[in-house]
Amino acid sequence: MLTISFHALAQYSFAFYIFTRMNPVDKIVRVLLPLPLRQLFTYSVGAEAAKAIMPGCRVLVQFGKKKIYTALVIEITSVVETEFELKPVLEIIDKVPIVNAYQLRFWKWMASYYMCSVGEVYKASLPTGLKLDSETNLMINPDAEAQQLSKNETLIYDLVDTNSKISISDLARSMGNLNIHTVVRKLVNKQILTTEEYVKDGFKPKLEKMVSLHANLNHEFKINAVLDDLARAPKQFQLLASYLELSGFTKTKTSTAVVQKQLLEQSRASSAALNALVKKEVFVVSSRETQRLNQDWDGNTEFKQLSVEQNTAYNEIKNQFAKFDSVLLHGVTSSGKTEIYIQLIKETIEEGKQVLYLLPEIALTTQLIQRLKKAFGNKIGVYHSKFSDNERVETYNALNKDPDKYPVIIGVRSSVFLPFSKLGLIIVDEEHENTYKQYDPAPRYNARDSSVVLAQMHGAKVLLGTATPSLETYHNVKTNKYGLVELFTRYSNIQLPEIKVVDMNRVYRKKEQTGNFSPLLYNSIANALKQNEQVILFQNRRGFSPYIQCNTCGWIPYCKQCDVSMTYHKHFGKLNCHYCGSMQYMPKECDNCASTDLSTKGFGTEKIEDDIKLLFPHAKTARLDLDTARTRKKYESIIHDFETGNTNILIGTQMVSKGLDFDNVSVVGIVNADNMLSIPDFRAWERAFQLMAQVSGRAGRKKKQGLVIVQTRDFGNPVIQQVIDNNYKGLFLEQAAERKLFRYPPYYRLIRISMKHRDKQILSQAAKIYGQQIRKKLGARVLGPEYPLVPRIQNQYIKQILIKLEREVSVQKLKEYLLEEIDIIKQSPDFKQVVFVPDVDPM
DNA sequence: AGCACGCCGACT
DNA sequence: GTCGGCGTGCTC
């Protein structure tokens, strides 16, 4: 099976070579490089060494003048003669393949569907620790002769001198990312600097010290003699006694090695005492490889009894799986979908198959992992970008070596790349989430859609779960591609919250507002606090205010590199561009008219927290957004504080809407629904519905109905009514009709091609010509080119072309055609540096 | 992607 | 006249 699939990948033909010169080598390998290049490359390898290589193994190769990359072997063949000398494989990293045939097939599909190279997929697939690449280090040549240096040369010389050894990338960073290559090359040519190519260390296994008895102590009487000798050294005596206990010697009379850390803890002895015993030849200390990953489960597993409704849904899912490969589980928030998943997972792993449980990036909470650990203990592997890279390598390797080590993987979108060999079930939880789509860098894949394909390759089933399905998925249900199971009762009869809408136009007209709060929201918060209940406030915008403005002349500060207004962050006292991340100080006066009358406009989470602190000085508040929860630890501690009641009011962006269960939240406030509804995107209303429905789902307690307050100036908006009525089907029908009319997904496929260049004119020209060219073939399916909402990011102008394709059109040939046309445009000298970025099924 | 080669304008 | 910036093309 392996060979067949690898051949399928060998889309790159050998005819490329003209065999002119005899250049016999023992064996050659064709390898894949982690680069956006569409070919494989050939390296030579000695016949003896070649025996150790298999397709799917990594090798180190030099590519270009300097760089060393981790390439992946695709094919091993006999000698051919090439017109140029082949470079040799520098090192064979793996004895056993670390990429299997399923993965390669999946990569190939992904590259062609998402219009990128297989190398780019390869790069995205392996955790960084498995892709060693080289850096160039610079050092001073001690024998260099003194000579006159230019300004930049001196600067670089000094930097290398003070660091004694510095990598080119570090040097470039300290020089402000200037073009340093030319200067460095000159210094190397003058023999002032020397270079050294070194391969960065990748994965390092974690070592653990183990203590065992010295070989001399092979009889119980000898041990007893030692114990007698130690009568006057109580710590050492205690150590040995503890050892005998821990190693099981006391019971079995045979001893095994014991973890040093554990031994020291148990005996409360110091390492000095241990060293003394090593010296006396009582103990021997050795190291062994250990896991970084928590294996702390006590082995007890626990399965909750399914409720009647859950059980019905569970059986229904199984029925549907008999007819469909993919099934949507449409269940309201708190309907207990997780318990159903657990049941299905249990069954799948009992059949000896693997399960992949996908979650959107942000929702990967301790809450859910704990619940699954309770059911499956150490059978669960977690794969998450906020785990350290070494931990991810461990999970990858473990899965590759032993498919039964972690039969259940919980992970974010990139876990579709793990080395599965016998998937039985993929669960895509919160399937509507847009974090399943990667935007940058390539591959711009959607993990939800990709897992349907991945499952097909393994003959596995896919369960998509959500309270608010994406239109795409629901459409697939309607057209009989996916099965459907509905679950509309909440677990343990928690009532759905009551949703009240406040007309903010009216509130502002009557000047009834307190800060940004209507009387209803204000009073409800006050009430909840009085009852010792918790409040969640949702505002889909971070920072203090989205922009500031001069009250005299209307001037608004914009980012210098992007055409977008700067967001004010009070905490840093700075203006921040949310597109390129650049910061600048809050201006004291207007740049245009020097007036000092500047005011903040609009509001974000930071402003709301500020207001709340003023209005409810005794309430403990926390903010959950990208600024406060940059790391997993910070995110978890904010959630933990709220769970345990340490904070009363949680203010946040969409982060607060993700699959969290709190049981003391009585009020949820959607502070401003309008900025969700007014986004100029065809998915805006769908997204607004999803967000509001998900946030609302956080309200409600066991015995008390929760209250959701939606503040809006767009009182009559149908989406708001649909949220109030919890009317998903209404939303679907209305939105679907519009999508059909305006030719959008799910009825049409979209491909968006973004073009970027520093020069506005050149960009417009290239975009126009490309548009005209493909319009010849595609006609009115091509829209644009147009400037996007933010037409310039980091000094690059951007134009976009949108292609709307009927579902029936065979897309594969068309994608190839689109790429060919890009190549043609880029042949023209003027447009060589225009960057084309194709995005299939954009979000 | 990343790196070297080569063309061309700015400044001793 | 040289130095350093940036565009062009190739990498087994």
Residue with CA nearest B5 C1'?
Answer: A182
Q: Among all strands, which nt has the closest C1' to A442 (CA)?
A: B1
User: What is the helix (H) or strand (E) element at residue A646, kind and residue range?
Assistant: none
* Rounded-to-integer distance, Cα A645 and Cα A632, Å: 20
Distance CA A600, CA A109 (A): 49
Nucleotide nearest the Cα atom of A135 (by C1'): B2
pLDDT higher than 80, residue A218: no
Q: Could you tell me which residues are beta bridge partners of residue A29?
A: A43, A76
pLDDT band at residue A7 using 50, 70 and 90 as cut-offs: very low
Name the pLDDT band for A56 (thresholds 50, 70, 90). very high
Least reliable range by pLDDT among A332-346, A458-472, A622-636, A678-692: A622-636
- Tally of CA atoms within 13 A in the half-sphere of A137 that contains its CB: 14
A342 CA – B5 C1', rounded, Å: 61
What is the nearest nucleotide to A833, using C1' and CA? Answer: C7
String of DSSP letters for A82-146: -SSPPPBEEEE--SS-SS-HHHHHHHHHHHHHTT--HHHHHHHHS-GGG---EEEEEEE-TTPPP
* Rg of chain A in Å (alpha carbons): 31
What are the beta bridge partners of residue A537? A651, A669
Mean pLDDT of A100-120: 97
pLDDT at A122: 97
Protein residue nearest nucleotide C11, by CA to C1':
A64
State residue A63 phi and psi, 5-degree precision. Answer: -130, 120
Q: Report which secondary-structure segment, H or E, holds A286.
A: strand A283-290
Distance A158 CA to B12 C1' (A): 24
Nearest of A184, A191, A403, A380 to residue A295 by alpha carbon: A380
* Strand B CB shell (< 7 Å): A 35-37, 64-67, 136, 168, 181-182, 185
Check residue A635 and give its pLDDT: 84
Compute how many other C-beta atoms are within 10 angstroms of the C-beta atom of residue A288: 12
- Nearest nucleotide to A181 (CA to C1') is B3
Position with higher pLDDT, A803 vs A602: A803
Q: How confident is the model at residue A2 (pLDDT cuts 50, 70, 90)?
A: very low
CA A826 – C1' B10 distance (Å)?
A: 30
What's the pLDDT score for residue A731?
Answer: 95
CA of A581 to C1' of C6 (A): 26
Instruction: For residue A64, give the nucleotide whose C1' atom is nearest its CA.
Output: C11
Nearest DNA or RNA nucleotide to A152 (CA to C1'): C4
> From CA A259, how far away is CA A240, in angstroms rounded?
13
**Three-state DSSP class for A839?**
strand
Flag whether pLDDT at A294 surpasses 70.
no
Q: Does the structure show a pLDDT above 90 at A583?
A: no
Q: Is residue A537 scored above 50 in pLDDT?
A: yes
Strand C bases within 7 angstroms of protein beta carbons: 3-12
- pLDDT value, residue A362: 58
What whole-number distance in Å separates Cα of residue A793 and Cα of residue A561?
6
Which residue do the tokens 């957004």 mark?
A625
- Strand ordering across the sheet containing A134-140: A166-167, A134-140, A193-199
What b/e sequence results for A291-315 when a residue is b if at least 16 CB atoms lie within 10 Å of its CB, and e otherwise?
eebeeeeeeeeeeeebbebbeebbe
Please calculate the CA angle A405-A408-A413 and round it to the nearest 5 degrees: 120
Task: Read off the pLDDT of each residue in A523-527 and give the average, rounded to a whole number.
Answer: 93
- In the DSSP assignment, the letter for residue A36 is S
| Residue A209 contacts residue A285 (beta carbons within 8 Å) | yes
Residue A5 has pLDDT above 60, yes or no: no
Q: Indicate if the pLDDT at residue A389 is higher than 60.
A: yes
Kindly report which amino acid residue has its CA closest to the C1' atom of nucleotide C8.
A832
- In whole angstroms, C9 C1' to A190 CA is 26
Which one has a higher pLDDT value, A488 or A57?
A57
CA A755 to C1' B10 (Å) is: 32
Strand C contacts (Cβ < 7 A) comprise A 16, 37, 39, 41-43, 61-64, 84, 86-87, 150-153, 178-179, 182-183, 186, 829, 832-833
Cα–Cα distance list, A132 to A417, A490, A721 (Å): 18, 49, 54
Residue A453 has pLDDT above 90, yes or no: yes
pLDDT tens-place string over residues A550-578: 888 888 888 877 788 888 888 888 888 88
pLDDT, residue A245, reads: 85
Distance A15 CA to B7 C1' (A): 35
Q: Which two tokens stand for residue A677?
A: 């509804």
A800 CB burial (10 A radius; 0-12, 13-18, 19+): buried
Give the 3-state DSSP-derived string for A372-430, with helices as H, strands as E and coil as C: HHHHHHHHEEEECCCCCHHHHHHHHHHHHHCCCCCCEEEECHHHHHCCCCCEEEEEEEC
State the nucleotide closest to A34 in CA–C1' terms: B1
The model's pLDDT over A703-753, given as tens digits with 9 standing for 90+, comes to: 788 899 999 998 889 999 999 998 999 999 999 999 999 999 999 999 999
Q: State the average pLDDT for chain A.
A: 86
- Percentage of residues of chain A with pLDDT beyond 70: 94
Residue whose CA is minimally distant from B1 C1': A35
pLDDT band at A363 (very low <50, low <70, confident <90, very high): low
Distance from C-alpha of A66 to C-alpha of A167, rounded to nearest angstrom: 13
Q: Which nucleotide is nearest to A67 (CA to C1')?
A: B2
Predicted confidence (pLDDT) at residue A39 exceeds the cutoff of 80: yes
Q: Which carries the bigger pLDDT value, residue A312 or residue A287?
A: A312
CA distance A122 to A125: 5
**Which nucleotide lies at the shortest CA–C1' distance from A65?**
B3
Dist CA A595 CA A553 (whole Å):
8
> Do the beta carbons of residue A503 and residue A712 sit within 8 Å?
yes
Residues 6+ positions from A53 with CB-CB distance below 8 Å? A29, A45, A59, A73, A76, A89, A92
Q: Which position has the higher pLDDT, A492 or A435?
A: A435
What the block records as the tokens of A308 is 């009647």
Nearest amino-acid residue to C7, taking CA and C1': A833
Amino acid in position A101: A
* Separation of alpha carbons A425 and A318, rounded Å: 12
Q: Which residue is nearest to nucleotide B4 (CA to C1')?
A: A65
> Tell me, what's the pLDDT at A97?
96
Q: Is A67 exposed, middle or buried (0-12, 13-18, 19+ CB in 10 A)?
A: middle
Confidence tier at A295 by pLDDT (50, 70, 90): low
Confidence of residue A541 (pLDDT cuts 50, 70, 90): confident
- CB count within 10 Å of CB A254 equals 9
Report the protein residue whose CA lies nearest the C1' of nucleotide C6. Answer: A179
* Residues 6+ away with beta carbon under 8 Å from A289: A205, A206, A207, A208
Q: Which nucleotide is closest to A63, CA to C1'?
A: C11
**Percent of residues in chain A assigned helix, strand, coil, to nearest 5:** 40, 25, 40
Could you tell me if A727 and A812 are in contact, meaning their C-beta atoms sit under 8 angstroms apart?
A: no
What percent of chain A clears pLDDT 90, i.e. is strictly above it?
A: 46
Spacing of A382 CA from C3 C1' in Å: 55
Residue A433 Cα distances to A446, A447, A496, A705, A735, angstroms? 10, 10, 22, 27, 17
Q: Which residue has the higher pLDDT, A34 or A202?
A: A34
Q: What is the pLDDT of residue A559?
A: 83
How many Å from the CA of A759 to C1' of C1? 32
Q: Where are the alpha helices (DSSP H) in A697-810?
A: 718-724, 728-741, 760-778
Which residue(s) pair with A667 in the sheet? A535, A707
pLDDT in tens, A127-173: 988 988 777 888 888 877 777 777 778 878 888 888 778 888 777 77
> What is the CA A150 to C1' B6 distance in angstroms?
21
Q: What Å distances lie between residue A830 and A753, A760, A786, A797, A826, CA to CA? A: 19, 13, 20, 16, 8
- Protein residue closest to B2, using CA and C1': A67
CA–centroid distance for A689 within its chain? 24
pLDDT tens digits, A203-215:
777 888 888 888 8
Distance A149 CA to C1 C1' (A): 18
Least confident of A19-28, A107-116, A554-563: A19-28
- A443, A446, A756, A791 from A799: Cα distances, Å: 20, 23, 7, 7
Work out the pLDDT band at A296, boundaries 50, 70, 90. Answer: low
pLDDT of residue A659: 59
* Lookup: nucleotide whose C1' is closest to A82 CA: C12
Q: Which nucleotide is nearest to A31 (CA to C1')?
A: C12
Task: Write the burial class of residue A14 (CB in 10 Å: 0-12 exposed, 13-18 middle, 19+ buried).
Answer: exposed
State pLDDT tens for residues A297-349: 666 677 788 889 999 999 999 999 999 999 999 998 777 889 999 999 999 99
Phi–psi pair at A534, nearest 5 degrees? -100, 160
The alpha carbon of residue A534 and the mean position of all alpha carbons in its chain are separated, in whole angstroms, by: 30
CB A750 within 8 A of CB A841: yes
Nucleotide nearest to A827 (CA to C1'): C8
Residue A709: strand pairing partners: A500, A669
Q: What are phi and psi of A457, to 5 degrees?
A: -65, -30
Is the pLDDT assigned to residue A471 strictly greater than 90? yes
Distance in angstroms: CA A138, C1' B2: 17
Q: Strand B: list positions under 7 Å from protein Cβ.
A: 1-6
Closest CA to A398 of A555, A291, A522: A291
Nucleotide nearest the Cα atom of A169 (by C1'): B2
pLDDT > 90? residue A280 = no
Strands A326-331 and A461-466: parallel
pLDDT at A595: 87
Single-letter amino acid, residue A420: F
Distance CA A172 to C1' C3 in A: 19
Distance A183 CA to C5 C1' (A): 11
Q: What is the pTM of this model?
A: 0.85
- CA A53 to CA A45: how far, in whole Å? 10
Residue A592 phi/psi, 5-degree rounding, is -90, -50
pLDDT tens digits for A260-275? 988 888 888 888 888 8
Distance A12 CA to C9 C1' (A): 21
Burial class from Cβ neighbours inside 10 Å (0-12, 13-18, 19+) for residue A9 reads buried
- Report the protein residue whose CA lies nearest the C1' of nucleotide C9: A832
Distances (CA, A) of A553 to A387, A558, A586, A674: 49, 15, 17, 27
What's the sign of the alpha-carbon dihedral A224, A228, A233, A238? Answer: positive
Q: How far is the CA of A73 from the C1' of C12 (A)?
A: 13
Phi-psi region of A831 (alpha: psi -120 to 50; beta: other; left: phi over 0): alpha
Residue A103 has pLDDT above 80, yes or no: yes
Residue ranges of E strands in A193-275: 193-199, 206-213, 258-259
